[in-house]
Amino acid sequence: MGRKNLDMIARHSPDGHVRPLAFIWDDGNKYTVDTVMDIRKAASLKAGGFGLRFHCRIHGKEKYLFYDSDVWFMDV
Amino acid sequence: MRTILHSDLNYFYANVECFLNPSIRDKPVVVCGDIESRHGIILTKNPIARRHGVKTGEAVWEAKSKCPNLVTVDAHYDQYIKFSRAVRQIYDEYSDQREDFGIDESWIDCTGSTKLFGSGETIADEIRSRIKNEMGITASIGVSYNKVFAKLGSDYAPPDSIISFTEDNYKELVWKLPVSNLLYVGRATSKKLALLGIKTIGDLANFDAEVLHRHLGVWGIVIYRFANGKDESPVKRTGESSYIKSIGNSITAPRDLISKDDIRKVLYMLSESVSARLRSSHMKCTGIQIHVRDKDLASCDRQMTIKTPTYLTNEIAEKAFEIFEKKYNFTKPVRSIGVRAINLKDANMPYQLDLFHAEEKRMRWEQLEQTIDVCRERFGYNSILKGILLEEPELTHSNIKDEHTIHPSGYFKDGKVI
Mutate which of A38, A50, A68, A73 to disrupt the B interface (most B C-beta within 10 Å)?
A: A50
The whole-angstrom distance between A7's CA and the closest CA on chain B is 21
What does the pLDDT read at residue B119? 95
- B207-223 mean pLDDT: 86
pLDDT band at B217 (very low <50, low <70, confident <90, very high): confident
CA distance A55 to B109: 34
What does the pLDDT read at residue B23? 94
The whole-angstrom distance between B33's CA and the closest CA on chain A is 22
CA distances from residue B97 to A40, B108, B141 in whole angstroms, order as listed: 25, 6, 16
- B381 vs B323: which has the higher pLDDT: B323
Please determine, for residue B127, whether its predicted confidence score (pLDDT) is greater than 80.
Answer: yes
CB-CB: which of A1, A43, A46 is closest to B134? A43
Please determine, for residue B318, whether its predicted confidence score (pLDDT) is greater than 80.
Answer: yes
What does the pLDDT read at residue A64? 97
Please determine, for residue B406, whether its predicted confidence score (pLDDT) is greater than 60.
Answer: no
Catalytic site includes residue B105: yes
What does the pLDDT read at residue B389? 64
Q: Which of A9-13, A43-47, B259-263, B350-354 has the lowest mean pLDDT?
A: B350-354
- Which chain B positions have a beta carbon within 8 Å of A48's beta carbon? 19-22, 136
- B193-216 mean pLDDT: 93
CB-CB: which of A2, A46, A50 is closest to B135? A50
pLDDT digits (tens, 9 = 90+) for B53-97: 999 888 888 899 999 999 999 888 889 989 999 999 999 999 989
Q: What is the DSSP letter of B181?
A: G
What does the pLDDT read at residue A59? 92
- Which chain A positions have a beta carbon within 8 Å of B132's beta carbon? 43
What does the pLDDT read at residue A17? 93
CA distance B398 to B384: 12
Predicted ipTM of the assembly: 0.89
CA distance B35 to B367: 13
Please determine, for residue B248, whether its predicted confidence score (pLDDT) is greater than 70.
Answer: yes
- A9-38 mean pLDDT: 96
CA distance B174 to B230: 13
E-strand ranges in B277-385 read: 283-294, 299-310, 334-346
Please determine, for residue B354, whether its predicted confidence score (pLDDT) is greater than 70.
Answer: no
Prediction pTM value: 0.66
Residue among B11, B10, B48, B52 at smallest CA distance from B29: B48
Of the candidates B58, B105, B272, B366, the residue annotated as catalytic is B105
Please determine, for residue B412, whether its predicted confidence score (pLDDT) is greater than 70.
Answer: no
Q: At a CB cut-off of 8 Å and minimum separation 6, what does B288 contact?
A: B303, B304, B306, B316, B319, B320, B323, B339, B340, B341, B342
Mutate which of A5, A39, A40, A41 to disrupt the B interface (most B C-beta within 10 Å)?
A: A41
Other C-beta atoms closer than 10 Å to the C-beta of B17 total 25
